[in-house]
Structure 1
Amino acid sequence: MSSRVLTVPNIISGTRLLLVPVFAVLVGQGHDAWALVVVAASGASDWLDGVLARRMHQVTRLGQMLDPAADRLFILVTLLALAWRDVVPVWLVLVLVVRDVVLAVMLVVLARAGFAPLPVHMAGKAGTFALLYAFPLLLLSEWPAPVGAVAGVLGWACALWGVGLYWFAGALYLAQAASVLGARTRAA
């Protein structure tokens, strides 16, 4: 793993972070078509930066922080924007934010104990992927039928599947953290 900062994948992740406020403004002003373009570009860049980091041997410590930070921020801003427009209910926002807060506390506990962040599970990636698919579909659900009707069904299917995977991955992370911390305690 490299400590380099200026790599192609890091530039892509940084650009994705810069797209978050652009998306928020577009959704807030009702420019749904452009917001969909931005969220689609963000989703594609999320996949691309990971592939390039591995293929170009440019996996970096910064990239391992930037990529999930961009994902979490995009999810949060998208959720808030969709809730503000009454596209999604507030309970969906709370369910996802609570999971991220729990894991943030876990990361602090691990860091204080001298441990690095835990490796990402495939369930977490799949949950994030499903949620990042759900949100543009839910935004499209506001369009007239038949596009809106089909997008609504697909969007809610992805959202509910994503929430389930998101929490399943959260449980895996908590179990892994407990195991790591427990092993240190037993060794001491």
Structure 2
Amino acid sequence: MNVPNTLTMSRFVLIPLFLFLYLNDQTIAALCTLLVAGLTDFLDGYIARRSGQVTVTGSMLDPLADKLMMLSVILALLIKSVLPLTAFVVMAFRELVMIVGSAIYHFRGLKTVPANVFGKATTVIYYAAITLMFLEQPGGVAVLWCGIALSFVTSVIYFMKFKSLNRVA
């Protein structure tokens, strides 16, 4: 267990804390918890690459933690009627497909594709949209739809890279 993996694991712990805070009307505390999770996401990857501590475990747990956190956030927003059901279904579908697909690829011994600039841009847009929604500012849902659109473009890019990396016909 190295520092990057410890940071990744902390995100799993932050998920129930976030849900507890948000669902008990502690919106600002929940947002701060979410932003701390986002910071650990940035730091774990940065530290792992800079210090040569990239591990198979971290490569699997990091995206899982990200996707579970995002699923928790959109579920909480749906429960509080902040997020439209359609946006929830589309986002949840994509996140779940990515989780299941990554697990299948991993356990079949296939190489997975690391995050790229489009994936990181999608995350930034999601965080911006969620922040707007948490702060009850206009435009949050519209920004989220932009992130959703970019997430599907990103998925196509990942699939093409995966296919090339694993020479799948």
Q: TM-score, normalised by structure 2?
A: 0.88
CA contact (8 A) 2:78 2:85 kept: yes
CA distance 1:42–1:115, change in 2 (3 Å): same
- Aligned: 1:101 with 2:90: no
CA contact (8 A) 1:140 1:152 kept: no
- Following superposition, the deviation at residue 174 of structure 1 comes to 2.6
- 1:120-169 deviations in Å (ceiling 9; x for gaps): 2321221122212321221111xxxxxxxxx332x334312211211111
- Aligned: 1:17 with 2:12: yes
- Following superposition, the deviation at residue 100 of structure 1 comes to 2.4
CA distance 1:163–1:34, change in 2 (3 Å): same
Q: TM-score, normalised by structure 1?
A: 0.80
- Aligned: 1:170 with 2:155: yes
CA distance 1:114–1:48, change in 2 (3 Å): closer
- Aligned: 1:159 with 2:144: yes
Larger radius of gyration between Structure 1 and Structure 2: 1
The correspondence of residues 111-122 of structure 1 with structure 2, limited to 5 A, is 111=106, 114-122=109-117
CA RMSD of aligned residues (A): 2.1
Percent of aligned pairs with the same amino acid: 32
**Aligned residues, how many?**
169
- Following superposition, the deviation at residue 118 of structure 1 comes to 2.3
